[in-house]
Amino acid sequence: MALSRFFAAVATCAILVSTPVLATEVQDINTQFRKGDLTGALDRANRYLAKNPKDAQARFLKGLILADQGKTNDAITVFTGLTEDFPELPEPYNNLAVLYASQSKYDSAKNALEMAIRTHPSYATAHENLGDIYAKMASIAYDKALALDNKNAAAQTKLALIQDLIQGQPRKSAAKPAVAALKPAAKPAATEPAPAKPAPAPAAASSNVEAAINNWAQAWSRRDVNAYLAAYASDFASSGMTRATWEAQRRDRITAPKTIDVQISDLKIDQQGNTASATFRQAYRSDLLRSTVTKTLKLALQDGQWRIISETSR
């Protein structure tokens, strides 16, 4: 169970409100953490959070540092706070489960994983970890059955099967196996975009909207700032900022990470004439942060191209 590899979620609200300067500060803390300077990284994170107590990314990073220091209870407190303040994020629940499992608190681990799945049903890591927890709990139950009746052949067979399952399954990310090598939320498998469900509109028009959205996501993933910005209309509603300020902010946030991957699923399009509304699940992953949100884009047909005129996330 490689707690040092728990580079997982950051709340969407933190992404939206953080300035480039603050994002750089958290990135520097993350770099310090990755280099193994846990004491220095924790001190820096605490100083940063004293000024920015609502920053989910920094709070999550603090939880990772505490876990790596072996301060499990303190890490649990941090991740629990994140689940309370940002219940839409599945990763803090998953990391709580790993920590609970390390303390042999399997019921608590199971409950945390069930919450992760309820929040994000397609979160493969949580499903796999939940299976491991069930296997470990089954092993404990069969052990108790044999303690009460050591001649119970059925329980002996089942226990042997469970133990083979637990001990025999390979784990790519489990540097320190524990509890059936429960793995951290490192890089959940990206889901393939689901096919769009066209609204009562011409199929070709709806397909063009879908293509425009996929091109926008692909430009973002390539960190192609110019192509990304070109997906937005000149009158895009940029939260009260001037177009120039908004573009500068987006440019900073796209170029800061070394890698970005944006995946779209559950796409639903409502196209009415020259306007359209698209709602989908957006999974954002970079070397700095992760988030999964439901996003709605409003688009308009301008000069033969579908362009984004507004966007909201929840």
CATH top class, domain 197-313: alpha beta
Prediction pTM value: 0.48
CATH 3.10.450.50 domain span(s) along the chain: 197-313
CATH class of 3-168: mainly alpha
Residues of the chain with pLDDT > 90, as a percent, come to 30
Q: What is the per-residue pLDDT across 13-25, written as a single tens digit (0 to 9) for each?
A: 333 334 444 567 8
pLDDT tens sequence for the chain (314 residues): 332 233 333 333 333 334 444 567 888 888 888 888 999 999 999 999 999 988 888 898 899 999 988 999 999 999 999 999 888 888 889 999 999 988 889 899 999 999 989 888 888 888 888 888 888 888 787 777 778 877 777 767 766 665 555 555 443 332 222 222 333 444 333 333 333 333 333 444 557 899 999 999 999 999 999 999 999 988 887 767 788 888 888 888 898 888 999 999 999 999 888 899 999 999 988 887 788 888 999 999 888 889 999 988 88
SS3 per residue for the chain: CCHHHCCCCCCHHHHHHCCHHHHHHHHHHHHHHHCCCHHHHHHHHHHHHHHCCCCHHHHHHHHHHHHHCCCHHHHHHHHHHHHHHCCCCCHHHHHHHHHHHHCCCHHHHHHHHHHHHHHCCCCHHHHHHHHHHHHHHHHHHHHHHHHHCCCCHHHHHHHHHHHHHHHHCCCCCCCCCCCCCCCCCCCCCCCCCCCCEECCCCHHHHHHHHHHHHHHHHHHHHCCHHHHHHCECCCCCCCCCCHHHHHHHHHHHHHCCCCEEEEEEEEEEEEECCEEEEEEEEEEEECCCEEEEEEEEEEEEECCEEEEEEEEEC
Residues of the chain with CATH 1.25.40.10: 3-168
pLDDT tens string 54-103: 888 889 889 999 998 899 999 999 999 999 988 888 888 999 999 998 88
Confidence at residue 281, expressed as pLDDT on a 0 to 100 scale: 92
